[in-house]
């Protein structure tokens, strides 16, 4: 078993994932070992079918491994019951998706309030003020009363980031967060995600964009269910 450093927030030990496809099944991950430290901005890259989205789903507790252990902030998450895992995700992890996944019948403010109302960790008297502050943080305070259909893709993604921060999680998982955005808006969203690591949050981003990946602090390349490269970058822009 690998030694976990004091600042390690994610640890994978011999993680494998099989999907029941065909007679023999399909191994999406084939024994992945990995450590991610507090405050890192990590890009996970690879071709379609390489296993990168499977890896992100396992890290976020959305899926469970066939073999191995996934340790997040000292907790073996694949050993938790579903109700425990749901609570752990709400406390610890924020998710940002390619297609935003905002609730269309809720305003921007209400979308950010929703995770707080669900988890009930933040006192109800403080939630609206916090939601407004998060919208201001991502430059969307003037759009608080608008519905997603009235917003551009970049604006929706900013609100999705504010929603991911609602319960002040330590870890943000972003699955192709710039995949549906133009280059200028992608840059804005990337800089916003990077700024979160300056606050001590850990950001793990799956992306097809090699240019953005190279600007993260670390790039993990996946191929055929295995890590083929793990590169630390000094790129600062």
Chain centroid, CA 13 distance in Å: 20
Q: How many residues does the chain have?
A: 237
Give the pLDDT confidence of 98-124 residue by residue, as tens digits. 888 899 999 999 999 999 999 999 999
208-229 average pLDDT score = 92
Pairing, β 202-206 against β 171-175 = parallel
Beta strands in 98-194 (DSSP E): 171-175
Q: Answer for the pair 200, 5: CB distance below 8 angstroms, yes or no.
A: no
202: CB partners within 8 A, 6+ apart:
9, 10, 36, 37, 38, 39, 40, 41, 42, 170, 171, 172
Q: Angle at CA 21, nearest 5°, toward 179 and 208?
A: 15
Q: pLDDT at residue 3 above 70?
A: no
pLDDT at 167 over 90: yes
Contacts of 196 (CB under 8 A, 6+ apart): 165, 172, 203
Structure tokens of 62?
């959305």
- The CATH number of 39-63+81-232, from 3.40.50.300, 3.90.10.10, 3.40.630.40, 3.30.420.40, is 3.40.50.300
pLDDT tens across 45-74, in order?
A: 998 889 998 999 999 999 999 999 999 999
Whether the pLDDT of residue 235 is over 70: the answer is no
Domain ranges of the chain: 39-63+81-232
Say whether pLDDT at 237 is over 50: no
C-alpha to C-alpha distance for 56 and 6, rounded to whole angstroms: 22
Backbone dihedral angles phi then psi of residue 108, each to the nearest 5 degrees: -55, -45
């Amino acid at each position: 078993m690998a030694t976990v450093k004091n600042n390690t927030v994610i640890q994978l030990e011999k993680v494998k994932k099989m999907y029941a496809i065909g007679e023999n099944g399909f191994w999406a991950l084939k024994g992945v070992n990995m450590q991610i430290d507090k405050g890192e901005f990590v890009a996970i890259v690879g071709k379609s079918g390489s296993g990168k989205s499977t890896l992100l789903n396992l890290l976020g507790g959305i899926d469970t491994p066939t073999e191995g252990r996934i340790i997040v902030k000292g907790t073996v998450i694949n050993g938790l019951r579903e109700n425990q895992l749901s609570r752990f995700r709400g406390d610890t992890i924020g998710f940002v998706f390619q297609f935003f996944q905002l609730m269309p019948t809720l305003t921007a403010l209400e979308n950010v309030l929703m995770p707080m109302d669900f988890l009930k960790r933040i006192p109800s008297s403080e939630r609206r003020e916090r939601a407004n502050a998060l919208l201001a943080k991502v430059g969307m305070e003037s759009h608080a009363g608008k519905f997603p259909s009235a917003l551009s893709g970049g604006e929706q993604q900013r609100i999705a980031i504010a929603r991911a921060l609602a319960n002040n999680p330590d870890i943000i998982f972003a699955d192709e967060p710039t995949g549906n955005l133009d280059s200028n808006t992608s840059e804005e969203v990337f800089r916003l995600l990077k700024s979160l690591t300056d606050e001590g949050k850990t950001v793990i981003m799956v992306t097809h964009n090699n240019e953005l990946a190279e600007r993260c602090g670390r790039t993990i390349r996946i191929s055929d269910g295995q890590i083929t490269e793990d590169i630390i970058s000094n790129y600062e822009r």
